[in-house]
Chains A and B, each alone.
Chain A
Amino acid sequence: MSPSAALSADERAVLRELSPGIPEGERPWAELARRAGVAEDECLGVMRALIERGVVRRVAAVVRDRDLGYNGNAMVAWRVAEERLEEAGAAAAARPEVSHAYSRRTRDEWPFNLYTMVHGRTREATLAVVEELGKATGATSPDDRRVLFSLREFTKRRPDYSAALGAAADQSTEGSGS
C-alpha cells in the first residue's frame, strides 16, 4: 500500500494542514477547513472518517510530564514466555501508569520481547508498578526485565509526514522541533 493510495485527496489535505497542530482561535475546525480547501462540515466529516478507519488514533493534547511531577519514567523491556505474551500485553495495557505497550522483535544479545513505558512520579513508584506487572506476567526474576530509567530527553517531536502528505501551508502553530 503506497501512502497516497490509502487516503483521499481531501483526507490528505486535512491531515497535511493539521500536522502542525490544531489552529489557534475559537473555531479551529473552520480555520483548518479553510486551509485544506474544504467546507467546515466536510472537514469534521473527514476527521470522523479517519478516526473510524483508525488512520487517526485520537485528537487530543499531550502534556509535558515534568509539569505534572512525573520524574520516574522508565522504558521497561521484558522477557515474557511467548505463550504468555498476549496476556502480558493486556495486563500492561490495563494499568493507567503504562502509556505504551508493544511486543517487538528480539535479538540474541537483547532477548526482550515486550516493552512498556511506565510513568511514575518517582523511581520508587515506577519500580512498584514493575513489581506488580512482573507478578501479572510471570517475568518475576530481575533477569526477565530491564528497567531503563530516562536520564535525558534529547528529542521529542511529532513525526514528519511530508513524504506521505506533503508540507502544510502554515507551519506556525507548533514547531516540529519542540
Chain B
Amino acid sequence: MSSAPELDDLDRSLLRAVQEGFPLTPEPYAELARACGSSPEEALRRIARMREAGVIRRLGAFVNSRAIGMVTTLAGADVDEEAVERVAAVFDSWPEVTHSYLREGHPNIWFALVAPSREVVDARLAEARALEGIRSCDDYPATRVFKLRVKLGVKENA
C-alpha cells in the first residue's frame, strides 16, 4: 500500500470536481480542466496518476444494487479477539462481501453483503455462525435510504 502522495492545489481542485461527478460528455477531461483552470492533458494526467496511486480508489458508476435485482444487507458479527484475523479473512474471501470493518464494541466485525438473492445471504450468515470464535452474527437489512453519497471535504492543508 502506497503512503499518501503529495497533493497540490490543482490535485485537490480536481478531486473536488470528480467527487461531484464525472462528465457524461465526449471530452470529459476538457470539462474538468475548464472547471479547475487547467488543460485537458494536465487534468487527464493528474487524474490518471491519482487513480494509479490509489488516492482515487474508484472512478465509475455507482449502481443502485436493488434496482438491478440484487439483495443487500449489513451484518454484525460478535467475534472473539483471537479469532478476528481468521474470521475477517473468511469474510474477505466471499465475493458477496463489499465492505468489512473491525469496529469498537460488540458486535465488532461489521460487513456489507451484495448478493443475487436472499438465499445466498442466508447461506453466508449460516456459514458465519458456524465459524469458530463467532458468538453471534445477525443482519440488519435497510428499510429506508435517507442518504448515500460519499463526498469528502478537500481542505488545502489536510
A148: min CB distance to chain B, Å: 4
Given contacts A29-B28, A59-B61, A103-B146, contact A154 B69 (CB under 8 A): no
A104: min CB distance to chain B, Å: 4
Given contacts A56-B61, A161-B70, contact A154 B102 (CB under 8 A): yes
Report the interface size for chain A: residues with CB under 8 A from the other chain.
88
Interchain CB contact under 8 A, A67 and B55: yes
Report the interface size for chain B: residues with CB under 8 A from the other chain.
78
Task: Say if the beta carbon of A172 comes within 8 Å of chain B.
Answer: no
Contact for A157 among B98, B110, B145, CB less than 8 A: B98
Interchain CB contact under 8 A, A55 and B22: no
Contact for B26 among A30, A58, A101, CB less than 8 A: A30
Q: Within residues 6 to 22 of chain B, which ones have a CB less than 8 A from any CB in chain A?
A: 7, 15, 18-22
State in angstroms the CA–CA spacing of A132 and B139 once bound together. Answer: 28
Find the residue from A50, A67, A107, A160 having the highest chain B CB count within 10 A.
A67
**B residues with CB within 8 A of A:** 4-5, 7, 15, 18-22, 24-29, 40-41, 44, 48, 51, 54-65, 67-70, 74, 76, 88, 91-92, 95-105, 107, 109-111, 114-116, 136, 138, 140-155, 158
